[in-house]
Amino acid sequence: MLIGLGVVLVLIAGCTMPVRVQVDALAAAGGVESGLRYRLVNSENENEGLRWQYTANLVERALEMKGYRREHMNADAVGATISVKTHISEPLTETREYSEPVHLVSGGYHGSVRTAVRDSSGNVSGYVQTPVYIPRDYYFAGYRDRSVKVVVYEKTLMMSAMNGDGEELWNIELKLIDDGADLRKALPYLLSAALPYIGNSTESAVIVEIKEDAESLSKIRGEL
């Protein structure tokens, strides 16, 4: 039995930042060519309700991009059985480090200026007080390191393909960690990162960056 391990770490600092995905995959010697006809099964043996159908649709779109064709009725045409399993963890606590700019303020107060009053001969005959306001001035003073604890969730997607003789052709396991509690939003990123490695092996864990404007994301979501 081939065993594939993977960890996906996602640190999202903003909506324009790419999602960094770490992937680990394993395939039979020489890899597995695309274009297989397959049937899709839920490895958790749960009732195939709406949640499974949503996952299956996304997986089918991703596999179609690799040339795979899903068979719903004709069992004789099936070349592989692909099992899918998903999981989301209980809430976890993660400490994130960041730096923030420090700005200092000067001014911003009222005062007065004493001015001499002179007579026609140029002699000082007295003084007057004139009120003035010193405006605030902000200036950059550097950075300071901060840390914050956030609640995150670990999402897992596992896929495994087996031929008619029960031999495993390939498997891939992906995980991502972010502060979202909805597994459905994570699936397109996981599948998009998996695309180059379905049917192939990674010598070790590799990192894939998925940008929000990636065409593969739109295709897997069904937007194209």
For 131, the 3-state DSSP assignment is strand
Quick check: is 167 in a domain?
A: yes
Do both 136 and 216 map to the same domain?
A: no
Do both 32 and 71 map to the same domain?
A: yes
The last residue of a domain, from among 110, 128, 146:
146
Number of domains in the chain: 2
The last residue of a domain, from among 129, 146, 163:
146
Q: Between the ranges 44-53, 66-75, 127-136, 152-161, where is the mean pLDDT highest?
A: 152-161
Do both 41 and 135 map to the same domain?
A: no
Do both 161 and 188 map to the same domain?
A: yes
* pLDDT level of residue 63 (50, 70, 90 thresholds): very high
Quick check: is 12 in a domain?
A: no
Q: Is pLDDT at 45 greater than 90 in this prediction?
A: no
Do both 107 and 217 map to the same domain?
A: no
Do both 161 and 115 map to the same domain?
A: no
Quick check: is 55 in a domain?
A: yes
The last residue of a domain, from among 124, 146, 168:
146
* CA angle, residues 110, 114, 118, in degrees to nearest 5: 155
Average pLDDT, the chain: 84
What are the structure tokens assigned to 206, written together?
Answer: 């590799």
Q: Are strands 69-70 and 137-162 parallel, antiparallel or unpaired?
A: unpaired
Do both 111 and 207 map to the same domain?
A: no
Do both 85 and 154 map to the same domain?
A: yes
Quick check: is 135 in a domain?
A: yes
* pLDDT level of residue 5 (50, 70, 90 thresholds): very low
CB 211 within 8 A of CB 20: no
Q: At which residue do the structure tokens 């840390």 appear?
A: 147
Quick check: is 65 in a domain?
A: yes
Domain interval for residue 56 = 19-95+149-221
Strand spans (E) along the chain? 19-27, 37-42, 69-70, 80-88, 92-106, 109-118, 124-134, 137-162, 168-178, 206-210
CB 168 within 8 A of CB 2: yes
Quick check: is 173 in a domain?
A: yes
CB 207 within 8 A of CB 20: yes
What does pTM read for this prediction? Answer: 0.71
Do both 141 and 159 map to the same domain?
A: no
Please give the distance of CA 40 from its chain centroid, rounded to a whole number: 26
Spatial separation of the C-alpha atoms in residues 83 and 160, rounded to whole Å: 5
Do both 106 and 131 map to the same domain?
A: yes
Do both 120 and 214 map to the same domain?
A: no
Quick check: is 8 in a domain?
A: no
Do both 30 and 77 map to the same domain?
A: yes
Q: What is the CATH number of the domain that holds 29?
A: 3.30.160.670
Question: What is the structure's pLDDT at 16?
Answer: 64
Q: What's 85-119 look like in SS3?
A: EEEECCCEEEEEEEEEEEEEEECCEEEEEEEEEEC
Per-residue pLDDT tens digits for 127-172: 888 888 878 888 888 888 889 899 999 998 999 999 888 889 999 9
Quick check: is 193 in a domain?
A: yes
